Structure 1
Amino acid sequence: MMSSPSVVTRALYRSVVLAASIAAWPAWAAEIEAATPPVVTEPVASSAQPPAADAALTTASIAPSANLPADELAAPKAADDAPKPTVASADRIEILDECLDIDACIDRYLWALYERAPKLDKIKETERRIVTVKRKGRMVKVTRSFTRLVDNDFTWKDPKAAERVGLSMKDYVIGGMDRSFKLKLFHTLHAAEAAGLAPGITSAFRDDYRQEIASGLKAATNRSYHGGSLRGGYGHGLAADIVSVNGATRAQRWVATEQLWKWVDANGKSFGVGRPYLDRDPPHVGPVDGQEYAKHRAPAVKVAAAETKKHKRIAARPEHHAAKRAKAVRASALASRRTG
C-alpha cells in the first residue's frame, strides 16, 4: 500500500512534468487543450497504479490532415545553434513505473510520432529523351538519360501493406518492431522531444512487400533491417527512419532534421540507438548493439587495424632481407672453404 505523502508527491511531480510539456507546446496546441480541459481528481491511496501515463506520454503532435496557418508552426533553430545534450532523467522512469501496460504505452507514444511526421520525400526520376548531337561533322539523333528530383508522397504504402496482411496501421508499423529496440527508441525520441527537437517517424516496420514498393535508396526486398524475412520478419524490425517536424516549410524542416540527426549522433548511444549509415542514409536509426550498426560502423576500426598490420609487415621486410643476405654470405664462405 502506497503512503499518502508518497502519492501526493508523485501526483505533484506528474503535474510539474505535464505543465512543462504544455508550456513547450505551440500556441495552437494550447488552444486545443483549453477547449477540452482535463478532468482532475484527488489522489487516493490505492494499490492500483494511477492512469497518469497518458498525460505524460502526450506529445506536441498534430493530426496529419490538420490545416494550420504557417505563422503558428514552430520555426527551427539556426543551423549552428546545436541543441543541448539531454541525459537520462527520472521522468522517463516515472512514465514506465506508472504505466499499467508498458508495451502499450510505448507503442502509443511511437505511433503519435509516426502520425505527425509528413510522408514526403524527393526521389530521383530518370527520363530518356531523343536528342540531336554533332558527331564527326554530322548531326545524329541519340537517346540520352536525364535525372531530376521530384516530390514523392509515400503515404499510401504503409496502409496498403497493413491491409494486405490484415493488420491495423498501428499494429503493422509499430507492432512489427522488436520489443527491445522499441524501448530504446522510445527513450531516445522522448529525450529528443524534451530537447525541443520535435522528432517524427516516417517509417518503422516494413515487410518484404512494403520493402518491394519502397523507392530510392533501399536494401534488397528480404534483407531490410526494418523487418525483412531474412532478418526475422514481423516482430523483429530493428530500424526506423526519423525526421524533425519543426518548421513551416520543407527547407526549415530540413534544417531542424539535420539538428535532430546530429543530436542522435551525440546522445543516441547512451540510449542504445545510432545511425549506421550517416550521410548515405541519414534518417535510418537502429540499435548500436545490433548486427547492422556493427557491420557498417566497425569497418573504420578494421581499416585502422589493417593499416597497423601493414606497417608492421613493411618494417619487418628489411630485417628479413638482412637475414637472407647473412645466410647467403655464410653459405658462400662455406663453399669457398670446401673448394680450397
Structure 2
Amino acid sequence: MPAPVTSPSEFAFELALCAHLEETTDLLPARQLGASVASPGSRIIDVCAVAPGPEFDERTHITPRTIPAAAIESDVGVGHAVFWRDAFDCHPARARRATDRAVDVGFFETERRRGREYVRQATRYPDAWFSRLVGIENKPDLGEPGDLLRQLRLDVSLSLFDEVVLATESYVTGAHLNRIPDVVGIWRFDPETGERDVVREATPLATDATGVEPVDYDSLHTDVAFVTAAEKRTARLKLAERAYGKGWRRYDLPGCGHAGVDSDGRPVCGHFGRVVDPGSECGPDCAAFDPADAPEFDRENLRDTRTDWVADPSGVARRQSGLDRFS
C-alpha cells in the first residue's frame, strides 16, 4: 500500500468545525468569504457564521441563493415597478448584473413597457433576518501562526463582524493569550471528538462605527483606509447573503473509486480512511487514484435537513403579479 499523503489539517479542521457548529448551534456557517471592504479580496475569513434574526423565516421563503446587496439597497420597491437603470446609484454594468441576478433568484419581477424593462421586488426584503455575524479564523497549530496576528488585528480594527473568534486545536498558553487581541474569543476544538471548549469569550465589536482597514504594509508604516458605517452595513449585508447562499460544502467530489462523503457531507477517501481536500489531494497525481464517476452528493438537501435553511422554498415572485395595476 502506498504511504498516505499528509492530511491537510487546516482543511479537515475547518470542515469539522463547520459540521460541529451546524449540529450544535443555530449558526449557519460558510467558508472562505471575503472580509475586507477598502481592499476587496485582501482578507478571506476562514468561516463566517450567521446567527438567525427574528425575520429569518421570511428570508428562507424567498430563495436559497444569494440576493445581491446592490439589488436589496436599490430604489426598487414592492408596489411600483421602475425602470431598472433609474433604480441604482452605481455603474450601469453593475446595475445590470444586479438586476439580472435578482430576477434569476426570484427577488425581482420584471415586465416590459414600450421596449424597456421595469422591475419591482417580489416581496419585502426582511432586514432583520440575521442578528450577528461571527468571523472565525482557524489555526489548528498555534506553533505555526503565520499571518494570524495581522489578520486578527485587521478583523478587530475593521469590526465588520459582531464577534471574532480564533479556533485552534493547540493548548492555549498565557503567552498566546497575551499576543492575541483581548476582544478576540478563543475556542479550543478537537476535530476528532467534536469537543469545543471556550477558552475566552469574544467581546462584541462596534459594527456601527467607522472601521480602520490596513491596506498596505511597509517595514516602517502601514497605510490604512477609514471605512464608514454605511460602507460596513453594505459589506455586512453582502457577507451575510453570500454566506446564506454558499454554505460550507462547496467542494467538488473527485472522480475516484475511493471517494465518498461522511454523514456530515465531508469528503472522505476510503483508501486513506480520512477527510481529504479534493482540490489539492485528489486526481491522477495520487498514487491510489482509481478513475470512476464522482459519487452523488446532494449538498443542498443535507444542509436543509441539518439547519433552518430551506433548499426548495415555494418562492414569492409570482405572488405579486397582480400589482401591475399599481404601476
- Pairwise TM-score range, normalised by the shorter structure: under 0.3
Instruction: State TM-score, norm by structure 1.
Output: 0.20
Structure in which a larger fraction of residues adopt helix: 1
Q: Which has the higher contact order (CA 8 A, sep 6+)?
A: 2
